[in-house]
Structure 1
């Protein structure tokens, strides 16, 4: 290595190690993109949807999706598909199916993935019979991997602990509390179904061995059929801030108050979601879709199809004050049809770990559910 290059690398490391991200000039650029799954009915799968993405404690990158066997519909039989990368998304394993629901009329619904930083376990929570279509009751299910995503446990039914409420986690990732209160707690948030909708969180204080319900933000009118403009919080993504609060970015399913995102906040480790903390973020226009959120080094990131009326224009936004306002600059990841998205990053000491975030999203030319794409984003392309 020549001397100039050596000192250049040392300087970059020094800049990132001694500076918070929000003190640097964020200028994101798509570094690379790969299609992980393409639908169309080939093989055993008609459509891939509902992408999830996470790093393991060993630095492997895991991508999950619903592999819908017979159609693009939310109901119907499915697999949970997995691809695994050990080089931060440069190369990927072939697709494996870690869960198969057989031929259920109302098959599995993804789902949230949560990584236990203390044990290394990767826990995946999903639902069966979520829509009550030719089946009853619903079940909340869990599988986990203790070997970095290589092998997975048999499905475990959590309904004995949680009851048979229709509960669909996420879709996205759950969190493990890093700051008081309730350090180490696993928090997975999602939404109900049928008429008793709303946002609900399940909690585990023993590394996923047992679960219970915590916070809830119920729809209005609760347990009654919803109409347009009713208060109907839906799919959601929680993130923990440095002050220990949990901010949950929520789909505003019936466009109550605005065609934009709801943001709820828990101050007690996911036990409650007080209405006093609920806000509507008009900057985050949205047509009612699952979105991505991520906190990294003091900056809050958000992805969604940035349109009030349709699922197009997948856009990355960022906030330097944890969501109080958003920088006017944005990164357009895909201008065409686009749907659900999820983000992750690696908490490491290498320069690359500070520079990049990773996005997985639904992408198409005519319809947003044609494929699932993976994007690596360089946050500081001008550095």
Structure 2
């Protein structure tokens, strides 16, 4: 009887759920480096070897023409599940002369001497490489890769020619990849969401449409897919988009837009490039016009989808009131157990001003959300916050009321 009792106690210990936890640390903070007045566009990915990579745009100015500012792409690495981090380093550099996008020069206060590196996207290849795409002046696109978990990257190769195929359907003058991390499918295809603009509207980023580019040869060459979400009276200026592979092998895009419904747009393709379904609004995913993050959680026999963004609108009214309820705040994480058809669980990560986010899952099952939030520097633009913070937590924390 004593032996049976001991075995029962031991087994009960294994079956006990982990204690919920959440911990936060700032990875980029305004004021720490005098060269930069704003950190924005956080990105996050876990490599095949388990290294966590966190990156962002470091901008010289905190206000004004920030998107067309002098911008560098900075990266930090963690080899212990996101607990401690390396110093930041710049990871994008194109040699030779550079010219400002002509549509930027039509705007006020744009310095033609500024160099804008923008919209970095990283993909963790299941074979161990890290693929990276980034833009120069919202006009040219480059590809590079790392074979050592982000310690070094190859010389950038320009792939802008892949975007020429879009011009038969949409005569773009301004373009951007992602931002955020992107995905490799079970077929090994690399898929990267992009947005395209004629550059004639606000900030030279509007009007806009979304699409994907893809590579079937491990990043050596890239091709344009179909326009996934056009700009219409219903789907207004679709732009920053994230992607996830569903369990049936299809690809779901989760799309930011400026639509009056103030909900995220969803569209699905069997191959991540062509034949996109008619976009529809997801009533559970509020849209304060801000980037979000999406990732697969595969641990302990569960296959879930996690989504992060600022959860802020007057859901009772079902729409945003003019001038109200569109602040970027209340970054939260949601769980879908049915491949994105419903989102029954929502947990607040940051109670207050909080902005762009990306989300990842480590090999141990820890969940990481990397997001912008308010800081001590009152001069920092409200759209980005004063710091980029990493929240590290477990599934039990999300599901605990």
User: Could you say which TM-score interval applies, normalised by the shorter chain?
Assistant: 0.7 to 0.9
Residue of structure 2 equivalent to 1:69:
60
Find the residue that maps to 1:265 and give its secondary structure: strand
Shift of 1:283: 1.5
Distance 1:140 1:325, change over 3 A: same
Match of residue 357 from structure 1:
367
For 2:274, which of 258, 271, 274 is the aligned residue? Answer: 271
Does the C-alpha gap of structure 1 residues 104 and 341 become closer, same or farther in structure 2, counting only changes over 3 Å?
Answer: farther
Whether contact under 8 Å (2:224, 2:273) holds in the other structure is no
SS in 2 for 1:326: coil
**SS at the partner of 1:335?**
coil
Q: Which residue of 1 aligns with 2:133?
A: 125
Deviation at 1:167, TM superposition (A): 2.5
CA–CA separation in structure 1 for the residues paired with 2:286 and 2:154: 39
Q: Residue 333 of structure 2 contacts residue 349 of structure 2 at CA under 8 Å; is this kept in 1?
A: yes
- Unmatched tracts of structure 1, length 5 or more: 16-24, 131-137, 222-226
Equivalents in 2 of 1:369, 1:159: separation in Å?
A: 31
| 2:195 aligns with one of 191, 203, 219 | 191
1:318 pairs with one of 307, 310, 335: 335
TM-score by length of 1: 0.81
1:280 is paired with a residue of what secondary structure?
A: strand
Aligned to 1:170: 178
Q: 2:304·2:336 contact (CA, 8 Å) conserved in 1?
A: yes
Structure 1 residue 196: deviation in Å? 5.5
**Which residue of structure 1 lines up, in the alignment, with residue 252 of structure 2?**
247
Aligned equivalents of 1:251, 1:242: Cα separation in 2: 23
CA contact (8 A) 2:194 2:240 kept: yes
Is 1:93 the equivalent of 2:98? no
Structure 1's 205 and 104: CA in aligned 2 closer, same or farther, altered over 3 A? farther
Provide, for residues 115-162 of structure 1, a one-character-per-residue CA deviation record: whole Å limited to 9, x for no partner.
2212x22111111121xxxxxxx1011222111111112222112343
Aligned to 2:101: none
CA displacement 1:278-322 (0-9 Å, x = unmatched): 220111111111001112232111111111311011111111112
Distance 2:180 2:218 in 1: 19
The verdict on how the C-alpha distance between 1:104 and 1:206 changes in structure 2, with shifts beyond 3 A counting, is: farther
Query: Any idea what the Cα deviations from partners look like across 1:217-269, whole Å, max 9, x if unmatched?
Result: 24335xxxxx8x653211111000110011111002x224x011111111234
Q: 2:117 aligns with which of 108, 127, 149?
A: 108
Query: What is the Cα deviation at residue 165 of structure 1?
Result: 5.4
Partner of 1:291: 292
**Structure 1 equivalent of residue 320 of structure 2:** none
The answer as to whether partners of 1:236 and 1:248 remain within 8 angstroms in 2 is: yes
TM-score by length of 2: 0.78
Please name the residue that 1:259 is paired with: 262
- The C-alpha deviation readout for 1:138-197, integer Å capped at 9, x for no partner, is 10112221111111122221123433853311111111111xxxx110000121122552
8 Å contact from structure 2 (residues 70, 115) kept in 1: yes
Residue 271 of structure 1, CA deviation:
2.4
> SS in structure 2 opposite 1:336?
coil
Please give the alpha-carbon distance, in whole angstroms, between the structure 1 residues aligned to 2:150 and 2:370.
18
Distance of aligned partners of 1:28 and 1:196 in 2 relative to their CA distance in 1, 3 Å threshold: farther
* CA gap 1:41/1:85 in 2 versus in 1, 3 angstroms: closer
Q: Which moved more, 1:368-377 or 1:98-107?
A: 98-107
Q: Is the 8 A contact 1:214 1:272 kept in 2?
A: no
Q: Please say if residues 30 and 333 of structure 1, whose CA atoms lie closer than 8 Å, have aligned partners that are also in contact.
A: no
CA–CA distance in structure 2, aligned partners of residues 142 and 369 of structure 1: 29
Equivalent residue pairs, number = 340
Question: Which residue matches 1:134?
Answer: none
